Chains A and B, each alone.
Chain A
């Protein structure tokens, strides 16, 4: 009996001490989460301000303190409207810019995936003369950024007859050496047995690519798609140099055009267009969060 009580007593002795440390820990945890949430809120405040003001009339945009902080938020929501979007669409054809951005981004991504996965498949799984040499050549082109050669790029695209055309941009984006590299790194690790089985069954190389390599390589394809999406959707300098017509402009260029009005600048239209330009990536990010963050770095680490 006495023997059995001893641990119990020890426990009772320990108990009060333990609860204080637990309490202190919980308090500390709450505090650090609170502080970090506050920092995150402060960090994101410019964005929240942009989201909020895109629905506000022009007179309320530059209120200080921001209109949303002037009264209870639900009361300030009364002035919400879609007027700035109206203005952006009617005066600056923002809808057209949106459509152009979508066309260029979607076709750019699809073409990149097609072209790069074909090349990566050859480098990873086929044997041919000069394979290593050609692969080194591709790696070398990774060191040739497009923007340092802006003037020649402009001239070359012009000489191809692709100046002021979406196609020129799409082809330019599809030539992604990084894409070939990323996919190849993934393809060399694919299970050889499946491919060997397909070879035994007499499948052609093209069939093996389409039916085995592409489906198995989906994670790498989606990483590349996300990388290209961010790059193409947000790219500004190259489209600005290569597209002249207003009807061809993408969203970032629309923003620049709106900004180049010097007298009575329509900041409300700029904010509305900016809202559209960033809500699309944020929307996809919320759905594919893991793929976004792992994306490039994850594939490189493997």
Chain B
């Protein structure tokens, strides 16, 4: 109460006026950047999707034509979206189970001091540039000089498949590279979540005579459900937005033989900057992809524990 008297002081009262808008000054740099480089990009994207902008020509308003063209395009666009989902769920269904198995194995007390270094060695590919990973695997999949065919030959299988020129194998190869690169990432997250499970639960299960398989299915997996969902959603978003494997795993930056490796983001890039420079059309495709990704990012936001008012108030 006595501090009210202090407010009479001219200097102090002007200070408190300043204090009123001071927080906004702290926010200003960030908001300036996010508006200029993120929000405004989306706003101008909302305009551009309805134009026939091409190259340096800003184009004119053409209504929903871009979207109509995309939706009726069963030759290029929908197959690209289909491949995006094929790739995304292919990654999800191979990486998450493998990561879980790896995490459960590494979690056993048997490894002791070795656990850290084993975990680190499965994590190393995560640090790698995806461009390098794509080029490295290209060299390994080359028909005559690649290591894959050599290894297949060593174990007595036919080693002359022309992996990179087989249009039916494109997405599969990308799933393989992605598996190699990202399984360790999920594994580290799942391992951390495994280690936070109370060991007493396992003691009790053991006393009750539960088999290891049953313990895994009925105790470990249910307890890890939050971590598993989180990892799956992150993996799905990553899969939907992948670009480098499509672009660089196959020779000549041609998105694979017959463009059979062209997925979502590569489709946008291809039409905006490679083939016909149709910026408006590519933006419309970007919006469709954006709404697909949005479903998953909304899930992600919820899983991160946001969107709850009490969390914000805290």
* A→B interface (CB under 8 Å): 28-29, 32-33, 36-37, 40, 43-44, 46-47, 49-50, 62, 64-66, 114-116, 118-119, 121-123, 126-128, 131-132, 134-136, 138-139, 141-156, 160, 171-172, 174-175, 177, 180-181, 188, 205, 209, 230, 233-234, 236-237, 241, 251-252, 255-256, 259-260, 262, 267, 270-271, 274, 277-278, 281-282, 285, 289, 292-294, 297-298, 300-301
Task: Name the CB-closest residue of A to B137.
Answer: A46
Can you sample 17 A-B contacts with CB below 8 Å?
A40-B122, A43-B121, A44-B124, A47-B125, A62-B139, A122-B24, A132-B309, A139-B306, A143-B298, A144-B42, A145-B290, A147-B265, A151-B268, A153-B41, A156-B37, A260-B253, A289-B120
Q: Does B119 belong to the interface (CB within 8 Å)?
A: yes
Q: How far is the CA of A128 from the CA of B139 in the complex (A)?
A: 57
Q: How far is the CA of A262 from the CA of B298 in the complex (A)?
A: 43
Q: Which residues of A contact B194 (CB under 8 A)?
A: none
Q: Which residues of B contact A172 (CB under 8 A)?
A: 37
Partner of B131 from A241, A255, A262 at Cβ < 8 Å: A255
Closest CB in chain B relative to A165 CB, distance in Å: 13
- Tell me which of A149, A237, A241, A262 has the highest count of chain B C-beta atoms within 10 A of its own C-beta: A149
Q: Does B48 belong to the interface (CB within 8 Å)?
A: yes
Q: Which residues of B contact A116 (CB under 8 A)?
A: 30
Given A62-B145, A144-B42: A37 and B127 interface contact (C-beta under 8 Å): no
Q: How far is the CA of A88 from the CA of B111 in the complex (A)?
A: 42
Q: Which residues of A contact B63 (CB under 8 A)?
A: none
10 new A-B contacts at CB < 8 Å, known A151-B286, A156-B40: A62-B146, A118-B27, A142-B301, A143-B298, A155-B48, A175-B36, A177-B34, A234-B131, A255-B131, A259-B253
Q: Are A149 and B42 in contact (CB under 8 A)?
A: yes
Q: Are A274 and B129 in contact (CB under 8 A)?
A: yes
Q: Does B220 belong to the interface (CB within 8 Å)?
A: no
Q: Which residues of B contact A36 (CB under 8 A)?
A: 105-106, 111, 114, 118
Q: Are B34 and A150 in contact (CB under 8 A)?
A: no
Task: Name the CB-closest residue of B to A258.
Answer: B135
- Tell me which of A132, A135, A236, A277 has the highest count of chain B C-beta atoms within 10 A of its own C-beta: A236
Task: Name the CB-closest residue of B to A298.
Answer: B192
Given A134-B27, A236-B130, A278-B132: A149 and B147 interface contact (C-beta under 8 Å): no
Closest CB in chain A relative to B118 CB, distance in Å: 6
Q: Are A141 and B122 in contact (CB under 8 A)?
A: no
Task: Name the CB-closest residue of B to A177.
Answer: B34
Q: Which residues of A contact B136 (CB under 8 A)?
A: 46-47, 50, 274
Q: Which residues of A contact B293 (CB under 8 A)?
A: 145, 148
Q: Which residues of B contact A44 (CB under 8 A)?
A: 121, 124-125
Q: Does B312 belong to the interface (CB within 8 Å)?
A: yes
* B→A interface (CB under 8 Å): 19-20, 22-24, 26-27, 29-31, 33-34, 36-42, 44-45, 48, 53, 105-106, 108, 110-111, 114, 116, 118-125, 127-132, 135-137, 139-140, 142, 145-147, 149-150, 154, 180, 188-189, 192, 241, 243-244, 247-248, 252-253, 265, 268-269, 272-273, 279-280, 282-283, 286-287, 289-290, 293-294, 297-298, 301, 304-307, 309, 312-314
Q: How far is the CA of A204 from the CA of B137 in the complex (A)?
A: 55
- Tell me which of B23, B36, B108 has the highest count of chain A C-beta atoms within 10 A of its own C-beta: B23
Q: Which residues of A contact B142 (CB under 8 A)?
A: 62
Q: Which residues of A contact B48 (CB under 8 A)?
A: 151-152, 155
Task: Name the CB-closest residue of A to B271.
Answer: A151
Q: Are B129 and A234 in contact (CB under 8 A)?
A: yes
Q: Which residues of A contact B27 (CB under 8 A)?
A: 118-119, 122-123, 134
Task: Name the CB-closest residue of A to B183.
Answer: A43
Q: Are B130 and A234 in contact (CB under 8 A)?
A: yes
Q: Which residues of B contact A297 (CB under 8 A)?
A: 188-189, 192
Partner of A281 from B31, B127, B305, B313 at Cβ < 8 Å: B127
Closest CB in chain A relative to B113 CB, distance in Å: 10
Q: Which residues of B contact A119 (CB under 8 A)?
A: 26-27, 29-31
